[in-house]
Amino acid sequence: GAGVSQSPSNKVTEKGKDVELRCDPISGHTALYWYRQSLGQGLEFLIYFQGNSAPDKSGLPSDRFSAERTGGSVSTLTIQRTQQEDSAVYLCASSLMGLAVGELFFGEGSRLTVL
């Protein structure tokens, strides 16, 4: 696609429910990143994928959070048993790997509100 696509753009859920957030990166981009941005805050790194593998999961806040990527393309971030502190904008970004390029291309984010 022309850019990074994320869905849903907005999600309101009840505490305790599971949610899935989807990211469709730019075609050909091998690296994919998930970040969380709480209201008025910076970007908190969650996880990144190189192809289908996740070399660095260190940012996942708890075992309620998981992510997968299939076919080297679409990624899904799943939050189980959501809590109110999970409310945030979840940003996905993709990039080409290698030292020659370094730019991340971001989606518009999925705003999650947990009531």
Partner 1 sequence: AQTVTQSQPEMSVQEAETVTLSCTYDTSESNYYLFWYKQPPSRQMILVIRQEAYKQQNATENRFSVNFQKAAKSFSLKISDSQLGDTAMYFCAFRDDKIIFGKGTRLHILP
Which residues here bind partner 1, judged by CB under 8 A? 33, 35, 41-43, 45, 48, 55-56, 89, 91, 93, 99, 102-104, 106, 108-109
Instruction: Give the three-class secondary structure for 31.
Output: strand
Task: Give 3 or 16: the residue with its C-beta nearer to partner 1.
Answer: 3
Residues forming a β-bridge with 26: none
Integer CA distances (angstroms), 76 to 34, 50, 99, 114, in order:
10, 14, 27, 18
- What 3-state class would DSSP assign to 86? helix
What is the DSSP-derived secondary structure letter of residue 84? G
Cβ-based nearer residue to partner 1, 48 or 73:
48
CB closer to partner 1 out of 82 and 95: 95
Q: Judged by CB, which is closer to partner 1: 1, or 42? A: 42
Calculate ∠ Cα 73-78-79, nearest 5°. 155
Q: How far is the CB of 97 from partner 1 (least distance, A)?
A: 9
Contact criterion met (CB below 8 Å) for 38 and 61:
no
